Amino acid sequence: MSFRFAHSAIDTASARLELLDPGAGGYVSFEGWVRDHNEGQEVTRLEYEAFEELAVKEGERVLAEAQHRFPIKRALCIHRVGVLGLADMAVWVGVSSVHRGEAFDACRFIIDEVKHRVPIWKKEHYRNGDSGWVNCERCAASLHHSHEHEPAVSR
C-alpha cells in the first residue's frame, strides 16, 4: 500500500510490477489524463501542486481504508505534480486482488477519495489566456460549498 508523488512522467510499467502477488487473479488500473476542455473552457495545460507531507499521509489512509473495505491484495497510487500538457497522465491507481470485482470497486473508491481528500491542487490554463485553481476561484463567492461536499470534477 503506497501513495506517492512523481515529479516527471509516471512509469506505469514498473508501478504495475509492484502489484504482482502470487495470490492475485488480476489487477485493475486507472489513469487520469489531462483533457483539452473543462466546464466549457478550452484547456491548454495544467499545473498540479501538493502539500506533499500531509498528502502522502492522507493518500496512504485512503489506501488503508480501501484494503479494509475490499478484500484486495495490493494497491498503489501515484500522482503527478508540476506542469502537465494535454494527454499527459496526472494520476495512476492500480489494485490487485483475488477476483476482479473487488479490484474494480477498490480502484474506483481510491480515485474518488483521493480527489476529495488529499491536499493536491490543480490550476487550469485556458486557450483564452485565463487560468484558475479548480474548485477555488469560480466558487469563491459561495460560502456554503465546502470542498468536502462538492462533486469531484470528472476527468
**Residues contributing to the site for another protein (CB under 8 A):** 32, 48-51, 53-54, 57-58, 79, 90-91, 111, 114-123, 133-137, 139-140, 143-148, 150, 152-153, 155
User: Torsion angle of alpha carbons 60, 63, 64, 67, nearest 10°?
Assistant: -160
* Identity of the residue, 21 or 135, whose beta carbon is nearer to another protein in the bound complex: 135
Report which of 34, 49, 39 is spatially closest to residue 151, judged by C-alpha positions.
Answer: 39
* Identity of the residue, 16 or 155, whose beta carbon is nearer to another protein in the bound complex: 155
Q: Is 12 helix (H, G, I), strand (E, B) or coil?
A: helix
Q: How far is the CB of 73 from another protein (least distance, A)?
A: 23
* Identity of the residue, 44 or 98, whose beta carbon is nearer to another protein in the bound complex: 44
Q: How far is the CB of 95 from another protein (least distance, A)?
A: 16
* Identity of the residue, 5 or 70, whose beta carbon is nearer to another protein in the bound complex: 5
Amino acid (one-letter) located at 136: C
Q: How far is CA 50 from the centre of its chain?
A: 12
Grid cell, residue 141, equals 463567492
* Identity of the residue, 104 or 133, whose beta carbon is nearer to another protein in the bound complex: 133
Q: How far is the CB of 25 from another protein (least distance, A)?
A: 27
- Which run of H or of E encompasses 126? strand 120-126
Q: How far is the CB of 99 from another protein (least distance, A)?
A: 26
Grid cell, residue 155, equals 476527468
Q: How far is the CB of 20 from another protein (least distance, A)?
A: 25
Grid cell, residue 60, equals 496512504
Grid cell, residue 36, equals 483539452
